[in-house]
């Protein structure tokens, strides 16, 4: 029976490249082909990909983050239009079944046949499950794919105790996942220490102490003899090699991986005695038309590399060879840095000191769980190292491997007060030092760019494991003058400290005392005036100043939106957004909004933040509209300010069958707590009642996702022009713990961020990034949390609704007129035309001569 072929036949003379496997390395290979113009859209190659999994390539390194709220889409490594843009034929859930090398033909599971000119095997590896009795019992899992995680998550709902077989990288991640699912968790490792490949005995001991302090139970130096099952065939326990037993109802095997070389074996390619497709320096197999890359390949140095960085390098090598470049793979850096269960662990170079005559420089503090070891050659050369509990210097030390350190090695490991620490700056590295080992990017390549987003886009550095981001930031050019503007030589965060410390409530006084000499006595500029106004407003309750932004001198500092407590639109009209905390609203309040919109002829639209926006109000109508809204129980939604906008929510456990917490109540509580909080930029938030994340909390400046044990807090998200998913700051928090950490986070952001800097940009810029923010906000490393909490308490106590404050004060109402010399005259330029049963601005009108004076900018027309 003939085998059917793919419906997409290649153009005459165009080579066909078939890729078997679409994991991280397979996707990197496709990107490397596209970078070299080898695509169908370019007419240079037909590329076919056969993928076993039901989804495109995703970040397996960050797999565990799924349990912290990331979705499979978040983990995807494939841009939405990547395949279509390059004409790549991707077949999901349809792996290669047979390879006929003589006919140069691959047949997939569904029966599709493809004739290839070049075949690339990127089949990866499979989890090794020890051949112990009971390994197939119900409740036994491996930890390799998203589907594995989905199955574990579902089964854990009925389990109380979990055990992980294997204490390596993935095993500890699996243990962290089980703990996060609320299970009492055990780790069983046959070796005498955890992470035996990466760390030595001292590092393993430090790691063990820290992990046990987190509530996990670790069994080292023992093996699994048997998995026991109950009468229904479900896991009930484990028997260990030392004669002890362990009661558990869920088992995860994470005892290493093996190369997936079955397809290669069956088609007659040479494989190693212990597995792996044998390849040469070009990653060619024993068949010159077939290549193998990633974890399925046995490299020419006799290694099967289990890290992603060597796989990426292999992918680049093969793409280069296909493109006619001189390219080879002769080995790779096995250094790694990661955070396991919140603990920094890193190893690089000759971490175990295998070189003859080498010396170890070791610092160990069992109380704090810090262990540092540098392996030094007899000539002073840095050969490698192990860092546990404190891996801040990994990004600089790893590129220095193979060079003589410029300082005594003990100065790099000892704590302050004991001869250290000395921090080596990345500027001391040579240009050919590899800063990003995931993508093999050198210091010289990074220094060709000026911003972190540019580096990530152009070189991919910092987009892998992320351990190099801090070093990249230190390599990028720093502005010599960091002053806010021409009026102040201080940054916004420095001005915040000056205002807070001195109790300054006057912009003019601040300019005279701390402005640049040439600016003193002047009027300031459009940059610093609203910035200082925002600082004073955010500190007003603490400073004893009026919280009303239009009182006295403050009014002159505001931009147009804050000046009129509404959003200026393109035709000179304004929009009004009343606060609707959590999106919850009564029918009576809905009716009031409808009546106001009808009576004033306003265009209405439901926003993405669960509120109703009313457009088209003249400036003189604003107080009239506010009066009716305030009488109905509404208040300002601060849509015009650099302040909290909304706290969006799903319906949570009250209505939804999947909800595990009351997300609506929490969203309302948070929105009412932080309303009116002035900040360097707008703030958005959301609360999701379960991990399905319907409120899209991870796209917000601070987002909350419910768990069975409380709340997970994420920070630094942004759904704007440069989307960024928020990062997990803390998990399984009680209501009180959640509010306390948000108080601290917001006040620390307001204190240290720069002008118009969103939390997402701030997190990427601030030295130490998320880890530093966590140290400050969660662990109070700077000792300022009590003050941050007090500042927020002052804000909450001092909050006043700006709309109500305005309509109840005749003097304040005087500013809300279109023309100062004709207060009753409407603005003739504000016109509307009908559209879809509502109105829209008439942008085609030509306004006649205006003889009155506008208050908008304070200038004559």
User: Residue 445 is part of a domain; what is its CATH number?
Assistant: 1.10.10
The band of 606, judged by pLDDT with boundaries at 50, 70 and 90, is: very high
Residue 420 has pLDDT above 70, yes or no: no
Residue 416 has pLDDT above 90, yes or no: no
Residue 525 has pLDDT above 90, yes or no: no
pLDDT, average across residues 753-775:
91
User: Does the N-terminal peptide bond of residue 750 adopt cis geometry, omega within 30 degrees of 0?
Assistant: no
The band of 140, judged by pLDDT with boundaries at 50, 70 and 90, is: very high
Q: Among 68-77, 125-134, 644-653, which is the least confidently predicted range?
A: 68-77
Query: For residues 687 and 663, is the Cβ–Cβ distance under 8 A?
Result: yes
- Same structural domain for residues 537 and 667? no
The pLDDT score that the predictor gives to residue 722 is: 73
pLDDT, average across residues 650-672:
93
- Rounded Cα distance between 78 and 246, Å, is 42
Question: Token digits for 285?
Answer: 């197999």
The band of 7, judged by pLDDT with boundaries at 50, 70 and 90, is: very low
- Same structural domain for residues 672 and 772? yes
Query: For residues 549 and 802, is the Cβ–Cβ distance under 8 A?
Result: yes
- Rounded Cα distance between 209 and 217, Å, is 10
DSSP one-letter string for 484-551: SSSS-SS-HHHHHHHHHHHT---HHHHHHHHS-GGGTTS---TTHHHHHHHHHHHHHHHHT----TTS
Among residues 118, 123, 115, which one has the least CA distance to residue 288?
118
Please report, for the domain that includes residue 775, its CATH number. 3.30.413.10
Q: Tell me whether residue 804 is in a domain.
A: no
- Same structural domain for residues 405 and 446? no
The pLDDT score that the predictor gives to residue 73 is: 83
What is the separation of C-alpha 582 from the centre of its chain, rounded to a whole number of angstroms?
24
Residue 650 known to bind ligand: yes
Question: What is the chain's percent helix, strand, coil content, to nearest 5?
Answer: 30, 20, 45
Q: Tell me whether residue 550 is in a domain.
A: no
Please report, for the domain that includes residue 394, its CATH number. 3.30.390
Q: How many structural domains compose the chain?
A: 6
Q: Tell me whether residue 819 is in a domain.
A: no
Pairing of strands 277-278, 118-121: unpaired
DSSP one-letter string for 639-661: TTSSBEEEEEE--GGGT-TT--S
Query: For residues 634 and 677, is the Cβ–Cβ distance under 8 A?
Result: no
The pLDDT score that the predictor gives to residue 778 is: 94
The pLDDT score that the predictor gives to residue 567 is: 84
pLDDT, average across residues 376-389:
86
Query: How many residues are there in the chain?
Result: 861
The pLDDT score that the predictor gives to residue 1 is: 33
- Same structural domain for residues 498 and 519? yes
- Among 23-32, 324-333, 504-513, 766-775, top mean pLDDT goes to 23-32
Residue 853 has pLDDT above 60, yes or no: no
- Same structural domain for residues 680 and 791? yes
DSSP E strands, 400-502: 434-436, 441-442
Which residues touch 38 (CB under 8 Å, ≥6 apart)?
17, 44, 45, 47, 319, 322, 323
Residue 8 has pLDDT above 60, yes or no: no
Residue 243 has pLDDT above 90, yes or no: yes
The pLDDT score that the predictor gives to residue 378 is: 83
pLDDT, average across residues 57-71:
81
The band of 602, judged by pLDDT with boundaries at 50, 70 and 90, is: very high
Question: Token digits for 664?
Answer: 């609506």
Domain that holds residue 782: 643-799
Residue 603 has pLDDT above 70, yes or no: yes
- Rounded Cα distance between 119 and 691, Å, is 40
- Same structural domain for residues 707 and 791? yes
Tracing tokens 């991280």 back to the chain, one arrives at: 24
Query: For residues 218 and 211, is the Cβ–Cβ distance under 8 A?
Result: yes
The pLDDT score that the predictor gives to residue 849 is: 38
- Same structural domain for residues 27 and 108? yes
Q: Among 641-650, 684-693, 798-807, 835-844, which is the least confidently predicted range?
A: 835-844
Q: Tell me whether residue 610 is in a domain.
A: no
Determine the 3-state secondary structure of 234 from DSSP.
Answer: strand
Buried b (16+ CB within 10 A) or exposed e, 353-378: bebeebebbbbbeeeebbbbbbbbbe
Of 424, 442, 457, which one is at a domain's C-terminal end? 424
Q: Tell me whether residue 623 is in a domain.
A: no
The pLDDT score that the predictor gives to residue 338 is: 64
Please report, for the domain that includes residue 313, its CATH number. 3.50.50.60
The string of pLDDT tens digits covering residues 215-226 is 889 999 999 999
Tracing tokens 């004073």 back to the chain, one arrives at: 536
The band of 565, judged by pLDDT with boundaries at 50, 70 and 90, is: confident
Percentage of residues of the chain with pLDDT beyond 70: 90
- Rounded Cα distance between 203 and 373, Å, is 8
More confident residue, 749 or 211: 749
Residue 785 known to bind ligand: no
The pLDDT score that the predictor gives to residue 809 is: 87
CA-angle at 695, arms to 694 and 699, nearest 5°? 115
Determine the 3-state secondary structure of 662 from DSSP.
Answer: coil
Residue 267 known to bind ligand: no
Query: For residues 390 and 207, is the Cβ–Cβ distance under 8 A?
Result: no
Q: Among 196-205, 265-274, 744-753, which is the least confidently predicted range?
A: 196-205
pLDDT, average across residues 275-282:
95
Of 322, 350, 376, which one is at a domain's C-terminal end? 322
CB atoms within 10 A of CB 8: 12
Query: For residues 584 and 668, is the Cβ–Cβ distance under 8 A?
Result: yes
The pLDDT score that the predictor gives to residue 109 is: 96
The band of 617, judged by pLDDT with boundaries at 50, 70 and 90, is: very high
The pLDDT score that the predictor gives to residue 558 is: 73
- Rounded Cα distance between 375 and 386, Å, is 9
Question: Token digits for 550?
Answer: 């239009």
Residue 167 has pLDDT above 80, yes or no: yes
The string of pLDDT tens digits covering residues 780-810 is 989 999 999 999 999 999 998 999 999 998 8
Q: Tell me whether residue 40 is in a domain.
A: yes
pLDDT, average across residues 457-466:
76
- Same structural domain for residues 293 and 437? no
More confident residue, 409 or 577: 577
- Same structural domain for residues 235 and 301? no
Q: Tell me whether residue 618 is in a domain.
A: no
- Helical pair 785-798 and 769-777, crossing angle rounded to 10 deg: 80
Buried b (16+ CB within 10 A) or exposed e, 534-558: bbbbbbbbbbebbbbbbeeebeebb
Q: Tell me whether residue 483 is in a domain.
A: no
pLDDT, average across residues 685-703:
94
The pLDDT score that the predictor gives to residue 241 is: 93
What is the separation of C-alpha 508 from the centre of its chain, rounded to a whole number of angstroms?
40
- Rounded Cα distance between 536 and 387, Å, is 44
Percentage of residues of the chain with pLDDT beyond 90: 51
Of 407, 424, 441, which one is at a domain's C-terminal end? 424
pLDDT, average across residues 705-715:
95
DSSP E strands, 149-223: 161-165, 184-189, 217-220
The band of 249, judged by pLDDT with boundaries at 50, 70 and 90, is: very high
Residue 854 has pLDDT above 80, yes or no: no
Separation in Å, CA 235 to CA 133, 136, 183, 255, 375 = 12, 9, 15, 18, 44
Query: For residues 662 and 653, is the Cβ–Cβ distance under 8 A?
Result: yes
The pLDDT score that the predictor gives to residue 858 is: 33
The band of 392, judged by pLDDT with boundaries at 50, 70 and 90, is: confident
| Mean pLDDT, the chain, integer | 86
Which residues touch 517 (CB under 8 Å, ≥6 apart)?
none
The band of 403, judged by pLDDT with boundaries at 50, 70 and 90, is: confident
- Same structural domain for residues 403 and 431? no
CB-based burial label for 476 (10 Å; 0-12, 13-18, 19+): middle
Backbone phi, then psi, for 107, in 5-degree steps? -120, 130
- Rounded Cα distance between 120 and 288, Å, is 11
- Same structural domain for residues 359 and 437? no
- Rounded Cα distance between 222 and 166, Å, is 10
More confident residue, 76 or 342: 76
- Same structural domain for residues 361 and 501? no
Residue 485 known to bind ligand: no
- Rounded Cα distance between 297 and 121, Å, is 9
CB-based burial label for 521 (10 Å; 0-12, 13-18, 19+): exposed
First to last CA, the chain: 86
Q: Among 195-204, 505-514, 742-751, which is the least confidently predicted range?
A: 195-204
């Amino acid at each position: 029976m003939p085998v059917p072929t793919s419906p997409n036949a290649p153009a005459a003379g165009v080579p066909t490249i078939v890729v078997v496997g679409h994991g991280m390395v397979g996707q990197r290979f496709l990107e490397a082909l596209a970078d070299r113009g080898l695509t169908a859209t370019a007419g240079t190659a037909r590329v076919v990909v056969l993928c076993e999994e039901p989804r495109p390539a995703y970040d397996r390194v960050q797999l565990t983050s799924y349990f912290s709220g990331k979705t499979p889409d978040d983990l995807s490594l494939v841009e939405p239009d990547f395949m279509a843009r390059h004409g790549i034929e991707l077949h999901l859930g349809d792996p290669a079944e047979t390879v006929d090398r003589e006919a140069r033909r691959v047949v997939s599971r569904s029966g599709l046949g493809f004739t290839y000119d070049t075949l690339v095997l990127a089949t990866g590896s499979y989890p090794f499950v020890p051949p112990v009795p009971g390994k197939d019992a119900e409740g036994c899992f491996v930890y390799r794919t998203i589907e594995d995680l989905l199955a574990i998550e579902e089964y854990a709902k009925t389990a109380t105790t979990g055990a992980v077989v294997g204490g390596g990288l993935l095993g500890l991640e699996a243990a962290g996942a089980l703990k996060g699912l609320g299970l009492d968790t055990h780790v069983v490792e046959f070796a005498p220490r955890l992470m035996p490949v990466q760390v030595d005995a001292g590092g393993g001991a430090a790691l063990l102490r820290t992990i046990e302090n987190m509530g996990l139970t670790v069994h080292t130096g023992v093996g699994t003899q048997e998995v026991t099952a109950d009468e229904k065939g479900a896991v009930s326990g484990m028997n260990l090699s030392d004669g002890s037993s362990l009661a558990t109802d869920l088992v995860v095997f994470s005892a290493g991986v093996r190369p997936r070389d079955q397809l290669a074996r069956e088609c007659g390619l040479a494989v190693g005695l212990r597995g792996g497709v044998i390849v040469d320096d070009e990653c060619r197999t024993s068949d010159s038309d077939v290549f193998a890359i990633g974890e399925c390949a046995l490299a020419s140095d006799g290694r099967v590399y289990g890290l992603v960085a060597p796989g990426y390098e292999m992918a680049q090598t093969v793409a280069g060879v296909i493109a006619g470049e001189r390219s080879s793979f002769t080995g790779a850096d096995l250094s790694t840095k990661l955070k396991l269960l919140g603990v920094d662990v890193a190893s690089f170079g000759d971490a175990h000191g295998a070189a003859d005559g080498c010396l170890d420089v070791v610092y160990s503090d069992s109380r704090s769980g810090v262990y540092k070891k540098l392996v030094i050659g007899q000539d002073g050369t840095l050969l490698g190292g192990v860092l546990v509990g404190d891996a801040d210097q990994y990004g600089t030390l790893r590129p220095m491997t193979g060079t003589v350190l410029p300082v005594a090695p003990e100065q790099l490991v000892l704590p302050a007060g004991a001869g250290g620490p000395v921090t080596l700056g990345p500027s001391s590295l040579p240009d050919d030092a590899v800063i990003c080992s995931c993508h093999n990017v050198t210091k010289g390549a990074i220094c060709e760019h000026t911003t972190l987003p540019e580096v990530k886009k152009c070189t991919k550095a910092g987009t892998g494991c992320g351990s190099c981001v801090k070093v990249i930031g230190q390599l990028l050019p720093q502005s010599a003058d960091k002053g806010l503007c021409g009026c102040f030589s201080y940054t916004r965060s420095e001005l915040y400290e000056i205002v807070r410390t001195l109790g300054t409530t006057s912009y003019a006084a601040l300019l005279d005392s701390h402005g640049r000499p040439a600016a003193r006595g002047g009027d300031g500029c459009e940059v610093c005036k609203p910035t200082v106004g925002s600082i004073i407003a955010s500190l007003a309750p603490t400073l004893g100043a009026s919280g009303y932004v239009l009182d006295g001198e403050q009014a002159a500092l505001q931009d147009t939106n804050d000046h009129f407590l509404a959003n200026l639109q393109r035709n000179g009209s304004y929009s009004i957004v009343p606060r609707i905390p959590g999106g919850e609203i009564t029918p009576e309040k809905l009716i009031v909004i409808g009546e106001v919109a009808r009576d004033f002829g306003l265009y209405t639209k439901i926003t993405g933040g669960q509120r109703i926006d009313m457009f088209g109000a003249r400036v003189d109508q604003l107080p009239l509209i506010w009066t009716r809204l305030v009488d109905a129980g509404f208040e300002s939604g601060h849509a015009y300010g650099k302040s909290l906008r909304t706290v969006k929510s799903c319906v949570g456990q009250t209505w939804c069958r999947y909800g595990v917490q009351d997300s609506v109540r929490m969203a309302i509580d948070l929105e009412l707590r932080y309303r009116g909080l002035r900040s360097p930029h707008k703030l958005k938030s959301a609360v999701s009642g379960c991990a399905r994340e319907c409120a899209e909390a991870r796209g917000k400046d601070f987002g909350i996702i419910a768990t069975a044990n409380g709340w997970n807090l994420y920070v630094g998200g942004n759904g704007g022009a440069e989307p960024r998913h928020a990062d997990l700051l803390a998990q399984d928090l009680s209501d009180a713990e959640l509010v306390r950490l948000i108080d601290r986070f917001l006040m620390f952001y307001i204190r240290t961020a720069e002008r118009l800097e969103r939390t997402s940009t701030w997190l990427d810029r601030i030295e130490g990034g998320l880890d530093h923010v966590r140290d400050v906000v969660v662990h109070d490393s700077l000792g300022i949390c009590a003050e941050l909490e007090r500042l927020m308490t002052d804000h909450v106590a001092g909050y006043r609704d700006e709309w109500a404050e305005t309509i109840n004060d005749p003097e304040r109402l005087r500013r809300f007129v279109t023309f100062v010399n004709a207060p009753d005259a409407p603005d003739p330029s504000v016109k509307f035309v009908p559209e879809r049963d509502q109105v829209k601005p008439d942008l085609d009108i030509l306004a006649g001569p205006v003889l009155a004076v506008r208050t908008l900018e304070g200038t004559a027309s």
